[in-house]
Every structure is written in C-alpha cells, then in structure tokens.
Structure 1
Amino acid sequence: MPQPAFFRKTYDETLTLMVEARNYLRHTERRERERAAPVVGLRMSCEAMRVTSRLTQVMAWLMVQRAVHTGELTPEQALLSDRRLSGFDVCLDDSFVDDDSLPNGLRSLMDRSHRLFLRVARLEEMLVERVLH
C-alpha cells in the first residue's frame, strides 16, 4: 500500500535536508567556523547541533509513522511518549535564525529545519486529537 502523500513529501523533504545539512557540516561549516570570531564559532556549533537535533527528531517520528502505515505499530502505540517528538526546548528555539553574524548557509538550514519541525509537531498534534480523543 503506498504511503500517504503528506508522508512521502515530508519524508523526501526531511531526507533531502538531512543530506544537505550533512554536506554543509562536513564541507563548509568547519571552514566558516574557523574564520569566525570565537563567540560566533561557538554559536555556529550550537546551531548546527540544533539543526541535527530537529532533523533527527523528525526522521525518527516519520519512521514511527511508517511503522503504523505498514501495520507494525498501532496508532495508539505510535503515540506512546517514547515514540513521539521530543526535545522541544532545543528544537523550537529559533533565537539566532536572523543573526547576521552566522553564515547564510547555516541560517538557511536553521530556518528550514525549524519550519519542518513545527510542521511535524502540528501533524503529531492532529494525530493525538484524532487517535486519543
């Protein structure tokens, strides 16, 4: 049975963003951080970890949804606390997305990963309402 369109599109977007983030962090971010002032370099490292956290949380959530779709989990099992999005204190913080001292490539990843996390959090809220209420 094919995956629902929202799932396929969100999964593809997440995977693409993960690959882009990996490539940026592997090839570009380190050089930019070495050229930056120490405080900016530290902020870059923190924000890179935040991007990684968001994308990891979203992909894990999508894998749980895939398990529901294939019948490996029930919708109720998927909504157990250890299978839901977490790390909201880290993942929702977008304090530095408009910080001009950060490189544009990193700021773009920060913004897009934040918007993706918010969208998936809304999807999860909708599932909670539908399944548990």
Structure 2
Amino acid sequence: MTDEHPPTTIGKPYQSNFAIVPFSRTYDEAFTLLVEARNYLSENRNSARRGEHTDAKITQFVAEMRMTSRLIRAMAWLLAVRAVEEGEIGWEEAVDIDDLMVDLRGCVEEHCDDNGHIAPALRDLMDRAYSLYMRTARMELQVAARCSA
C-alpha cells in the first residue's frame, strides 16, 4: 500500500446527497487515517507479540481490532461511493439495507474497557476512526433512506 491514492473525479455530474468537495475530504481523511493505522500497527506488532497475553495486551488487541474494523467498513463504503461516482454501480448496489454500518454494535460502541491500558497514540487513532465511522454511517443512512423511499 502506498501513501498516495488516485484523485477523486471532478467535473463529472454527481447525482447524490453529497457535494464533491466534502466527500473528497472525507475520502482523503479515511485514506490518511488508514495509512496512519497501518504504520502504528506495523511499529507495535513485535512488542505486542512478546510475552504473555495479559489483560492489558488483550485490551490493546480488542482496541486495535475495533479501530481496524471501523476503518475497513468506512473505507469500503467510501470506495462504493466512488464506484457510483464513476458510474460503475448504482446507489442500490452501494448500500446494503440489510447490513448498514449503524447495525454493527462493535463498531458503533464508543466505550472501550480501557482501564488506562491503551497507548495514547492508539486512543487518538481510535477516536478519529470512530468519528470517521459515524460520519460515513450517517451518510450511508441518508443514501439508504433515499434508495428505499
């Protein structure tokens, strides 16, 4: 994975609830956050594998998985929106009414059994991933309501 991504298409007609600029910013934010998360996990992989699996390490693993799940789901939806933007699929294909992001309890729950065991850098990534996830989930709900109307 590189740190660069293809630019969002500008100049084509865009039939949706979203303006191109805010969507592009959200996509850029998601991509940047995904790269930051990858770098964080790569740097901390070896230290987490050494030794016993204490409660602190298990808490850290759960937090990492929750952050990763949020980022994957948000980025998947944003890529689906880009596919709609490019005319590759329709909105009905981009939104699965039976599997909306707001239905994923593990991703929507904000709290974590932290007890001070989560590194500040991971806590920051988790908070930003939560914010991005909830924003994309709201966008998905808007499109889902429009598609089912």
TM-score normalised by L of structure 2: 0.76
In the alignment, which of 98, 114, 134 is matched to residue 118 of structure 1?
Answer: 134
Q: Per-residue displacement from partner, 1:85-128 (whole Å, max 9, x unpaired)? A: 37611111222286432110111111110111100111111112
* Aligned pairs for 1:32-43 within 5 A: 38-43=54-59
| Worse overlay, 77-86 or 22-31 | 77-86
Q: Aligned residue for 2:146? A: 130
Distance 1:63 1:5, change over 3 A: same
Query: Equivalent residue for 1:88?
Result: 104
Aligned residue identity for 2:28: D
What CA distance in whole angstroms lies between the structure 1 residues aligned with 2:141 and 2:126? Answer: 22
Segments of structure 1 that go 5 or more residues without pairing to the other structure are none
Q: Which residue of 2 aligns with 1:50?
A: 66
**Kept in 1: contact 2:64–2:122 (CA 8 A):** yes
CA-to-aligned-CA distance 1:6-58 (integer Å, 9 cap, x gap):
22111110111011011111103643675898101101011101111110001
**Contact 2:71–2:133 (8 Å) recurs in 1:** yes
Check 1:119–1:86 CA distance in 2 against 1; reply closer, same or farther (3 A cut).
Answer: closer
Contact 1:61 1:84 in 2 (8 A): no
Aligned residues: 133
Residue 22 (1) aligns with residue 38 (2): yes
Aligned to 2:101, what secondary structure does the other structure show? coil
Give the Cα–Cα distance (whole angstroms) in 2 for the partners of residues 115 and 29 of structure 1: 25
Q: CA RMSD in A?
A: 2.6
Segments ≥4 residues shifted beyond 6 Å = none
- The verdict on how the C-alpha distance between 1:7 and 1:125 changes in structure 2, with shifts beyond 3 A counting, is same
Report the TM-score when normalising by structure 1.
0.85
Report percent identity of matched pairs.
Answer: 35
Partner of residue 125 from structure 2, selected from 97, 109, 112: 109
Structure 2: tracts of 5 or more residues without a match: 1-8, 15-19
The structure carrying a bigger helix percent of its residues is: 1
Aligned to 2:89: 73
